[in-house]
Amino acid sequence: MSSDLRIDTTPIPGLLVVHLPLHEDARGWFKESWQRQKMVALGLPDFGPVQNNVSFNHARGATRGIHAEPWDKFVSLATGRAFGAWVDLREGSSFGATFTIELEPGVAVFVPRGVGNSYQTLTDDVAYSYLVNDHWRPGVSYPALALDDPTAAIRWPIPLPECEISEKDRKNPRLDAVTPMPPRRPVVTGCRGQLGRALMTAFPDAVGIDRPGTGAPVELDLTDVAAVRTWPWHDHDVVLNAAAYTAVDAAEGEGRAEAWAANAVAPATLAEIASHHGITLVHYSTEYVFDGIVPEHREDEPVAPLGVYGQSKAAGEVAVGTTPRHYLLRTSWLIGDGGNFVRTMARLATDGVSPSVVDDQVGRLTFTDELVRATRHLLDASAPFGTYHVSNGGPATSWAQIAAEVFRLRGRQADDVTAVTTADYFAGKTMAPRPSHSAFDLAKLRATGFDPEDAFTALRRYLAG
């Protein structure tokens, strides 16, 4: 066999054959049964095993399966030889696809969730070892398939009547009676907000969660740590956390505790859950984690929030960064389906009002459909996990410039908008501090192959809708 570690694909999507080098001498052999760094680099999913099991088989002809567990497995042999067989029992076009290969200590197989797994020993004393990324729990059922199913038509080396088979496996159903295993579904938290609604549209199979009283499909208080921990997360693979406390000014006073609970405690709980269940956590943050001194903020700029809202969001970022599979997406000046700055300016323009708008806060609009498009892109492209800045593209502009463009598009004169400083606008008011520069450097996002749409192009479409 080859002395190099290599991975081969199979006709079953996600089922991978791993060829393991055996280092032999007069004493025997040594192998690295599981080597995360090398295997992940070659394309094996970083599936996070939590348990190792060994199934020892005394005699040739022992046959087990076909079982499709709701977790991933990595199978290999410590001794002997076996015939491995796999049948895809997941929903989708590959349902019923079959693959077989002979297993020996130098050949291992990664088995994704929902693919039926089976083997037949070809020698005595076969030690079949497997890693799994979830713990068995009572009450969980999963698909199984008859070993002699005529559709799968597995060519067992040893005729099944001559084999040792459990009574349970002899009663498994034929393929036409198997209920396929559904895929793990994404979860959208904060599903009733502007971003949450856009995410639910883009991820129609997602489960929507929001706080009690919102009428969400699932009502769950994300600040209730015990309730969140006991919610059934096993059947979900991605959490899109659009839940947040965003009342920036109220956070400086009566909303302080609520801001910290929603923006720091809840993300910390979700990060803990994501780590435990191997979930990808997508978390949305804000330019308010910066002090706004530099014209464009890079992902590696140290956070320096000016107010409570930014401080609570920065704390949430730290928590999210502890889970391996995370995308932290900072965004700015969000515009979507709901009350927002653009709609306010459009209404004022229609009503004949000539407002004063600050012109010394500079940034870029982020439309929710653009943020959702970037989210989908990062997930579909399997972009490296980490922090990304996301907004629409084009030149950075002030709030006053945006308001003037809204007025122009509504048939008003741009100079019907009066530009004022932040100090003058907030004079006599108790307001949270705002960063004067909110624009992001989008180079890291662009490097993944995503091209942000110009903000004013998106603005024209938004107002025409």
Q: What are phi and psi of 73, to 5 degrees?
A: -135, 150
Following DSSP, what letter does each residue of 6-71 receive, concatenated? EEEE-SSTT-EEEEPP-EEETTEEE--S--HHHHHHTT-------EEEEEEE-STTBEEEEE--SS
Residue whose structure tokens are 């509504």: 410
Rounded Cα gap, residues 328 and 210, in angstroms = 20
119 counts as catalytic: no
Helix (H) or strand (E) holding 130: strand 126-132
Q: At what angle do helices 368-380 and 194-202 cross, to 10 degrees?
A: 50
**Is 130 one of the annotated active-site residues of the chain?**
yes
Q: Which of 119, 130, 288, 327 is catalytic?
A: 130
- Segments of 174-247 assigned E as strands: 185-189, 207-210, 218-219, 236-241
Q: Phi then psi for 284, rounded to 5 degrees?
A: -105, 130
178: number of CA atoms within 13 Å, CB side? Answer: 30
C-beta atoms surrounding 128 within 10 Å: 22
3-state secondary structure of 440: strand
CB 68 within 8 A of CB 41: no
Of 67, 277, 389, 437, catalytic: 67
- What are the structure tokens assigned to 254, written together? 């009566």
Cα dihedral value 232, 234, 237, 240, nearest 10: 20
Q: What are φ and ψ of residue 234, in 5° steps?
A: -60, -30
Please list the active-site residues: 67, 130
